[in-house]
Amino acid sequence: MGSYLKRLKQFITLFSLALVSSYSGALEPEDVLGEYWKDPLFGEALPEQEYQIDVLYKQLWPAKLAVAQGQKVRFEFFNKTDEAHVFAFTHDITLLEQSDSFQAFIKDEIMHANTASSTVDGHHHSDTSTDDAKSMVRTMDQIPTVTLKPQDRREIIIRFTKLTPVFLHCLVPGHEAHGHHSFISILANEAAPIH
């Protein structure tokens, strides 16, 4: 997420300079930034709500969350354990557990989370790529997942379009039973607090 923040800061700095210059009649924003509105970072990945998720030993904090329907919510995960975790946002954990392809994906994620690099053979795992803001904003239909190495930090931005409650589960065998899960309520036409 560091490169995303760096690009956003550069964008804001250049945009501000272009606006100041345009008042003097010298430049327009487009002269400096080009067609900045076509950049996926231009509003697409800006969250409207934010939550910090602490992954602790045998606990995920907070255990309950409330988010507003339709808004982009940024979840920042802090893995404060010495174990790897793979979290999935889902309406029905049973469907994920019964899906052979999803279980193969989880097995692959766990294997790579226990290695030194988040990329192996040139491919990225779960939501660790920051090259394109659109790829960072997920919907529930895309089964958003976050893979955390020990003592790792990761972010994901999700837009919740349905009022159906969401469960956040660690899919590493045995972790859900140890308390690595949260419940997310989706609020209709309400603004949940920004954290």
* Model confidence pLDDT, tens digit, residues 149-168: 999 999 999 999 999 999 99
Taking the C-alpha atoms of residue 103 and residue 23, their distance in angstroms, rounded to an integer, is 57
Segment holding 124, helix H or strand E: strand 123-124
For tokens 């590493």, the residue is 172
**Domain ranges in the chain?**
2-38, 49-187
| CATH hierarchy code of domain 49-187 | 2.60.40.420
Q: What angle do CA 64, 128, 110 make, to 5 degrees?
A: 75
Helix or strand or coil: residue 194? Answer: coil
Region of residue 125 (left: phi > 0; alpha: psi -120 to 50; beta: else): beta
Which tens digits make up the pLDDT trace of 83-130? 999 999 999 888 888 889 888 888 888 888 887 544 444 444 444 444
pTM of the full structure: 0.67
